[in-house]
Structure 1
Amino acid sequence: MRAVIGWCGRRAPWIQQFVRYGLVGVGALGVDVGAFTLARYGGADLVTANVLGRLLGALAAFAANYAWTFALHAHRAPMLRCGGRYVVLWGAATVLSTLLLHALLALGVQETVGKVLVEAAMPILNFVAARYWVFRQQGMPPEGTAGRIA
């Protein structure tokens, strides 16, 4: 797997970042579900357990994406700026996913199917925003775009 990721990274750095982003997402999901399960087992109500799991999963994802996924990005912004941008992205993605879910339900899509469809699309949108905004230093071109005419 490491050889494949390395080969892809030499060909197109965004592919390596996308693979790493996906792996981080799976790990963050594990943190989310694990924290949720432990909180519920410990007696927390559903909402508290869900919020706790989502927050811990988001923190794990941010830390891993900053330190590993986008560490290769030559023009990554400082951690505090990235953290602020990440909070904005997380909030915007949550609002967008909620609106999309409501729209699908209004069209008659079953709730669980709608949730899966929406959440399957969100990582792609979030990756693009993370690569080109959250983890990029202001005023610097994204990796691999130097010299291109916009």
Structure 2
Amino acid sequence: MTVVVTAIIDNDRYYARTEEERAVLIRRMVDEEHPGWASLVYVWDRPAGEGSGRLAWPAWQLRVSAEPGLGVGALNWVGPVPSDELGPWDTLNPTPIVGVAVEFDGSVPSYFPPSAVLPIDDVRRAVAEHFNTGRRPECVQWQPGYRF
């Protein structure tokens, strides 16, 4: 099966099918500033968002918010997890980083809880894992996310 990574970065859609293209997307999402925008990621058997209706998008999404200048970021997962518990899920840092804020949604604005903020290397590693598995990354811990 062919796997396609679809990333929405700064409200523009990008696709990756090769390791090189995936590495470029990770750098764009994690290492570049995106004021007011979280990146959204879909790993599927086809490009997400093509076509119409609910079959155009998978039933899962990884939200990637990074503050590269501060060396931190946070993730939000909506979709199936091994325990079958309902989400959404935010990353969990057992040793919270105090004094930094990571934006969840710049249009509101809203922020991840301090307990969700991770070192940027952990964010990068989790995004790479998601690109390879299409599932919620297991290299980081998770906590129940905010329900709107």
Using structure 2 for the length normalisation, give the TM-score: 0.34
Which structure exhibits the higher relative contact order, with contacts defined as CA atoms closer than 8 Å and separated by 6 or more residues?
A: 1
Q: Which structure features the higher share of helix residues?
A: 1
Q: Which structure features the higher share of strand residues?
A: 2
